[in-house]
Structure 1
Amino acid sequence: MMQNNRMTMTNLLLMALASAVVLMGSPARAEEEEVSMTVDEVVELIEPFGDGCTPKPLREHIVEMVLNKEDAKHESKCFRHCMLQQFELMPEGQLQFNEDKTVEMINMMFPDREEDGRRIIKTCNEAMKAEKDKCEAAHGIAMCMLREMRSSGFKIPEIKE
């Protein structure tokens, strides 16, 4: 049970990072087989994190974030920022992801990919460095990271609608 709770938290961290995946099982299993969840299952898991956010996200905003809508509403982007802040991946007052914490989180699910993870974070932080809105920055970096991770061969399962 402790392993499942740890993996669920890791999965939520991945969701906060790219809001693209919720992988279940051990890191080794995640690489061997894709396990996907429905949108409703993912929303149910992360909905409680919205309680501490201002503005508090509506279900539609959480769904948009989970589905990684490029053209998401601003409220959805702000929920992403709030989650990233809660997991200290995008600290208060910062407009970029914390490189070390983000790499550490990626390494939990993708061992031996630290170099790729660090390169991706640097690339995406740099791509959004001119953005001044924290919600837009969080969303832009996350979307960039999702694209870069997929193009670099990270196995990112899709969320079932």
Structure 2
Amino acid sequence: MQEFDCSLDYGSIDFRERPDLYRIGRGEQGVLKVEPYKSEILPHWKFATPETARASSEHILSMFARYLDDDDFVGADVARKFLQMGFTRARRYANYPAGKKYVGPVPADKKGQSGAHGRRRLARQHDPAKAESARIFKAAWDRAAQDPRYLALRKQHRERYESRI
């Protein structure tokens, strides 16, 4: 598996025209960079309440299916990543109302890195509505990630583009 290439000029690349430049990467990597998909999907991505999470995840799943119908693996993969991100963000807010796990700012030399970096961790709380939103997105993410058409296109994409590098 090739790592997501962070060195590309994402503002100037249309990945619908250049799927050869897309790397799946890990987890949610690139979900907010890959155009035109980010701009197509982001307006529909919401998780504040279970009702909005349900509507959002269903809409994104329908977009995922349309991308698959068009044999557009990159679009389908970005839609899958938005579903995954819906789960992870809703889960974060279910545990930490402000979405922050640690007290204090990230030290300047640690920006862009994950982890506490010496900061104290906040106490976990529980927001049942956000937890339900997370469950809704997790179910949608699982459906997308296990879709046989998606799995076939992912395999094809890796063989065609990611094995050459």
| Common topology (TM > 0.5) | no
Q: Which has the larger radius of gyration?
A: 2
| TM-score bracket, shorter-length normalisation | under 0.3
Higher helix share: 1
What's the TM-score once normalised by structure 2's chain length?
A: 0.26
TM-score (norm 1): 0.27
